[in-house]
Structure 1
Amino acid sequence: MPISRTRRNVLTLTAIALIVAVLVGVRLAGGGDPAPSDRAQPIVSTASPAVSAEPSATVPPAAKPPADLPVIAYAKGPRGLPADPEPTSVVAITEALRPETAMALYDAPGGKPRAYLPPQISGLPVVVPIVARESGWAAVLTPSSNRTIGWIPETGWKPEPLRDQIVVSLADRRMTWLREGTEQGRWTVAIGSDTTPTPHGRTFVMGRTGTSGAVYAGLDALVLGSVPEEPEKLAASLRNAHTGIHAWTNKSAFGRNVSNGCVRTPAAGMRELLAQLDPGTPVVVTA
């Protein structure tokens, strides 16, 4: 379910469908419980470098960002950036960008600067997957938004390798963890309801946050870059939330559409993911 901010260093999630999370300035809403691990046919995801588009004839140099360019925040996503051209691609993303200082995101190679990507958001390190390259520019998935990319000149930074990927199938209520294209784990999960759906498309793990309540098995939750599709349908405290992946101890939820948008996961699977996944891990939610 979505992860929203109630106060600094406290994240609130309810036991029915909301998750109380404690982290610097981060909140989460959702639920999940331990159920048996489901290891059926593997998802095939061929690891490959980020897609390289055909170079354009002439790309102007990066324009200097204006002094008042907005900074992406936990509850304030970027405006004016383009849609992800391949939102449900399960081709593995193998590189990420970790900004050391605030970096401007542009709406196209050589285009207009639209927002700053900071090195941290609400205490979570920013590590964004690289999904395309063109004419000396790289496109990255953006946090605090759904199915959105931003372009950054390929100067002043080096890519970091990515080895893991999470694929969530809404139709099957199934989550699969892959490492370098090989399935490591598969679980039946609970997803968002028809009113508060789990956002589809590509996103990524921003980091982890604490939870409160026995229903979460005493385990942290993974905060994702995606946000509620229709925040007005959520409780006011969750409208600035993010989607998350978290444990749930009520097994009757698994295989159902019952959350506020988060992916509720068996506790055993959640322990594996917390031990293995790093910030920047791509997550793709397919229909």
Structure 2
Amino acid sequence: MGLLGSDPAAAPTRRPRRWYLVALAAILGVALLVTLVVVHFAPRTRYAATLPRPAGPTAPAGPTAPAAEAPIPVPPAPAGLPVIDYGPAPKGFPADPDPLSTIRLAEGLHPTRKVPAYDAPGGRPRAFIAPTISGVQLTMPIVDRRSGWVAVLLPSANRTIGWLPPGGWQTVPLRDLVVVARDTYKLYWLRDDKLVRSWSVTLGIPATPTPLGRTFILGRSALPGAVYAETDVFALGSVPDRPDAIPAGLKGAHIGIHTWYHDRSLGKKDSDGCIRLTRSGQRLLLDELVPGTEVVVVDRFREPAPTT
């Protein structure tokens, strides 16, 4: 037998095979076309779950609301507690946490009724504070807050604070700050943290030094005698650090800011602890400063630039 296609007798069998191949190719082509159409138009969402999603930027966390402070109980105050007046304040109150700070205390507290003062929030009541002292409305600078309680600089005490519970008082804004520097014998008056004026002053002698630390203007009064140049005096919340060294005629007195009948002792130690300045300076401060204004006596102070 010869090779396929070389034998004439085999010719009738080759024609049907060629048609078979053509038919098979056509069927395969149709099947391929149908497959492509089905794949192209098939829904693709069913495959999405199997594909990894690209990592995007993490959304920033929103602001966290501050946790509300739990209220601190107010222990009852015995009716027989003393009332703080112009005399020495009762003992047992805590020390001022930052007595030499020259950062202005911008808010004061005025009692609207007699309120108890405690040695800590929720602590022990030590005394009552009334709306006035010697007929003068009382305003004390606020130094701290905690769960509705407020700490204030106490009158008739040096570098001491008391804590008042919520209620029975109102707040007032304080714009001014008086800084007294013992090294330069200067008094600086600042309003809204900007220097307004400064003056040379007289300070206390070594036996009765001008007390260091934060205090405040308690009120103003007129003292008899030509030595005060017929000008009112500011009484401060502070008292002499060494009350036994004070002359008998000044027993029970507070430290004050006032003028004097002469200016020869400005820039020196010549008082019983008070701060003396010129008559014109005192009159200007009397016109401008209100009760509750903070006064800080420090050893050194960097003089700020004056306002323009």
State the TM-score, normalized to the length of structure 1.
Answer: 0.78
Which residue number in structure 2 is paired with residue 150 of structure 1? 162
Tell me if 1:218 matches 2:227.
no
Instruction: Report the Cα distance in structure 1 between the residues aligned to 2:106 and 2:69, rounded to whole angstroms.
Output: 27
Residues 163-185 of structure 1 deviation map (CA, whole Å, 9 limit, x = unaligned): 11110111111101111111111
Identity of aligned residues (%): 48
Instruction: Report the Cα distance in structure 1 between the residues aligned to 2:194 and 2:217, rounded to whole angstroms.
Output: 19
Which of 221, 236, 247 aligns to 2:248? It is: 236
User: Does the 8 Å CA contact 1:102/1:119 hold for their aligned counterparts?
Assistant: yes
Q: Point out the more displaced range, 183-192 or 70-79.
A: 70-79
- TM superposition shift of 1:95: 0.5
Tell me if 1:168 matches 2:145.
no
Find the residue that maps to 2:127 and give its secondary structure.
Answer: strand
**Matched residue type, 2:109:** L
Find the residue that maps to 1:93 and give its secondary structure.
Answer: coil
Which of 242, 245, 249 aligns to 2:257? It is: 245
Find the residue that maps to 2:111 and give its secondary structure.
Answer: coil
More strand by share: 1
More helix by share: 2
**Matched residue type, 2:116:** A
Instruction: Report the Cα distance in structure 1 between the residues aligned to 2:93 and 2:112, rounded to whole angstroms.
Output: 21
Which residue number in structure 1 is paired with residue 15 of structure 2? none
**Matched residue type, 2:94:** P
**Matched residue type, 1:279:** P
Which residue number in structure 2 is paired with residue 209 of structure 1? 221
Which of 88, 96, 99 aligns to 2:108? It is: 96
Find the residue that maps to 1:159 and give its secondary structure.
Answer: strand
Find the residue that maps to 1:211 and give its secondary structure.
Answer: coil
Tell me if 1:81 matches 2:93.
yes
- TM superposition shift of 1:223: 0.5
Which residue number in structure 2 is paired with residue 275 of structure 1? 287
- The correspondence of residues 1-287 of structure 1 with structure 2, limited to 5 A, is 60-287=72-299
User: Does the 8 Å CA contact 1:228/1:239 hold for their aligned counterparts?
Assistant: no
Instruction: Report the Cα distance in structure 1 between the residues aligned to 2:228 and 2:253, rounded to whole angstroms.
Output: 18
Relative to structure 1, is the Cα distance of residues 142 and 109 closer, same or farther in structure 2, using a 3 angstrom cutoff? same
- TM superposition shift of 1:59: 6.1
**Matched residue type, 1:149:** I
Instruction: Report the Cα distance in structure 1 between the residues aligned to 2:291 and 2:69, rounded to whole angstroms.
Output: 35
User: Does the 8 Å CA contact 1:78/1:144 hold for their aligned counterparts?
Assistant: no
- Structure number with the bigger relative contact order (C-alpha 8 A, sep ≥ 6) is 1
* Number of residues of Structure 1 aligned to a counterpart in Structure 2: 234
Instruction: Report the Cα distance in structure 2 between the residues aligned to 1:157 and 1:101, rounded to whole angstroms.
Output: 7
Instruction: Report the Cα distance in structure 2 between the residues aligned to 1:56 and 1:170, rounded to whole angstroms.
Output: 43
User: Does the 8 Å CA contact 1:79/1:115 hold for their aligned counterparts?
Assistant: no
Find the residue that maps to 1:273 and give its secondary structure.
Answer: helix
Gaps of 5+ in 2: 1-66, 300-308
User: Does the 8 Å CA contact 2:112/2:170 hold for their aligned counterparts?
Assistant: no
Residues 56-75 of structure 1 deviation map (CA, whole Å, 9 limit, x = unaligned): 98664111101211111111
